[in-house]
Structure 1
């Protein structure tokens, strides 16, 4: 009987330029599809009924379970404008730049699992489009903002919703307004209850008030965005993806704890800037979970396909994902190894691929 041999299992070679093209093409398609729903397709009379009433549903649910405190949390910090400005910048930059940095880091440091995490990110983002399409949601900051076309108040406010009121463009009305102030609602607190100086819902559009990397109501941003793409929150989905994907690269538990603060900070950010409800964040976590299952499944299917193609018989059952293995190590009291710098230099859990991110070796069954 001969000893065990190693047989190369050919994986798709990873090329940075190819991955960059894939990401760019995917994001362009994703953005185009996302923008076919919501704020770009509101009713001709300028009344964003669906997005507003979906926000009412979220508010009613959150009130029922005791979650609806977003406006009170925002009110605590509104007087600290420098603090709010920081979170405005965070909201408009970290979402893209941190995700891109983690994507690049995985490509160079975790090439063995990079396809799995890339597929997870793509699947999660694609799933979000389903939410945007079937549940357009007006974010809190727009609930008291002007409607896209300001309508003259009829004697009976319900006439607007029934189509009996002719829309009249008021002086100063713009096509970059996407609010729901013209939609009657029994959820508006009224004069007996005010938040942030308003007798409406009381949320403040902090980017509009204090500034940020861009303005949501600018014609340029309005033309390329969907103001009602709030459920699920991809800020939460992407930030969770970043934290969990980076987890195996960090050896010290203190760093693992710190990286988990990123999605926590992001959750605070989307609330204090009134861009999302709590429920949107939960939706983002669900999208991440489903995207992880899909991404991992695609990765395993592709590995099994390559094994069969090269006649390799797996020597063990399906392995736990790298993230699960790392978490298990921590829970079971695995060594708290040296410092993070060493990990960044040698970060793989399994044997790494060769330098061109190409072949890996697997053990074939013993020949008889």
Structure 2
């Protein structure tokens, strides 16, 4: 099925390219083909990035806001009950400690301001007769290092896109009121309806962005009120993106080179470069909790969604790696490196 769909898309792409560039100009066809690919990628990534806004549009169009608010409140109360029963409900205490001792809230971490790192891995050539592509030492028969750079990009892109759209389904079917809105009584959306729960006795969360401000926007901005889904809390896309960045970094930088001694400073510097990225998702989870934008369960849900999205990716891209190795077997073993 995958091969048939790929063949159909290739034929459709060829017809479009020929209709634009003509059949007798291969250079122009290559340029048009590259432009179509870039536009397709840009459209896919832009639409994926806007899943929060898309969920807001769907809810505002198909659902009465009052019912939407009640559903999100019920889901939030279920999360709070679950966290209390498991000992995870410490968001209020953590925020109060942060406000008392640090008081430096500037808003939750934003995926649009956190670029994915782009490390350069230390690669070693494989033995003669193996894949002509360079791969990290110790790569298995079907591993990330067996893929070409373009296939590695598609691998990582597929993980992020799938996880974002799975979280989009969560925004649609499990709308959840974030902690910052539980005690709020007077915050209105663009339609003039209250978005908070006004549970001032049960909860004491502080809306950090409302209290301390933000560098780029404010909850009272009309565009934010119109486009933003206030109940897009579960699962946390902030956590998904930060953890995805960590996975991408670890995958791209690869394991330590066998040429480095464990006692050498270069070995430990490389290990630090590889694993220090884990501080990024940890810091992101801390930020979204102390700003009362997410529950701990939202972050855990984001990690589960990312794991679910990552699981089928090696299977989907296994044929690509196997094809590379089959092609390598037909290449003479005296490849220049």
Query: Structure 1's 174 and 78: CA in aligned 2 closer, same or farther, altered over 3 A?
Result: farther
Offset at residue 27 of structure 1 (A): 2.8
**In structure 1, distance between residues paired with 2:65 and 2:236:** 27
What is residue 204 of structure 2 aligned with on the other side? 202
Contact 1:98–1:242 (8 Å) recurs in 2: no
TM-score of the two chains, using structure 2 as the length reference? 0.66
Query: Structure 1's 38 and 104: CA in aligned 2 closer, same or farther, altered over 3 A?
Result: farther
Is 1:364 the counterpart of 2:330? The answer is yes
Query: Structure 1's 174 and 298: CA in aligned 2 closer, same or farther, altered over 3 A?
Result: same
Is 1:266 the counterpart of 2:319? The answer is no
What is residue 99 of structure 2 aligned with on the other side? 78
Unaligned segments of structure 1, at least 5 residues: 1-11, 151-172, 182-187, 189-197, 316-360
What is residue 179 of structure 1 aligned with on the other side? 196
Is 1:51 the counterpart of 2:81? The answer is no
Contact 1:54–1:137 (8 Å) recurs in 2: yes
C-alpha deviations, 1:127-182, integer Å up to 9, x for none?
Answer: 111111110000000111126779xxxxxxxxxxxxxxxxxxxxxx972742112x
Contact 2:185–2:197 (8 Å) recurs in 1: yes
**In structure 2, distance between residues paired with 1:22 and 1:104:** 23
Offset at residue 101 of structure 1 (A): 5.2
Query: Structure 1's 248 and 222: CA in aligned 2 closer, same or farther, altered over 3 A?
Result: same
SS in 2 for 1:232: coil
C-alpha deviations, 1:225-256, integer Å up to 9, x for none?
Answer: 11111111011111000001111444511122
Is 1:227 the counterpart of 2:230? The answer is yes
What is residue 246 of structure 2 aligned with on the other side? 243
**In structure 1, distance between residues paired with 2:36 and 2:221:** 33
**In structure 2, distance between residues paired with 1:82 and 1:47:** 33
Offset at residue 301 of structure 1 (A): 4.7
Query: Structure 1's 82 and 73: CA in aligned 2 closer, same or farther, altered over 3 A?
Result: closer
C-alpha deviations, 1:43-101, integer Å up to 9, x for none?
Answer: 3557711000100000000001000010010001114675112xx1x523xx1232455
Query: Structure 1's 44 and 287: CA in aligned 2 closer, same or farther, altered over 3 A?
Result: closer
What is residue 169 of structure 2 aligned with on the other side? 130
What is residue 128 of structure 2 aligned with on the other side? none
Contact 2:183–2:196 (8 Å) recurs in 1: yes
Contact 2:187–2:196 (8 Å) recurs in 1: yes
2:112 to 87, 96, 100: 96
Offset at residue 25 of structure 1 (A): 4.0
What is residue 303 of structure 2 aligned with on the other side? 285
Alignment of 1:326-345 (within 5 A): none
Q: Could you say which structure has the greater relative contact order, defined with CA pairs below 8 angstroms and 6 or more residues apart?
A: 1
**Which structure's residues are more often helix, by fraction?**
2
**In structure 1, distance between residues paired with 2:35 and 2:283:** 30
**In structure 1, distance between residues paired with 2:300 and 2:229:** 20
RMSD across aligned positions (CA):
3.6
Is 1:214 the counterpart of 2:217? The answer is yes
SS in 2 for 1:270: helix
What is residue 169 of structure 1 aligned with on the other side? none
Contact 2:95–2:289 (8 Å) recurs in 1: yes
**In structure 2, distance between residues paired with 1:218 and 1:46:** 24
TM-score of the two chains, using structure 1 as the length reference? 0.61
Contact 2:243–2:281 (8 Å) recurs in 1: yes
2:47 to 21, 28, 34: 28
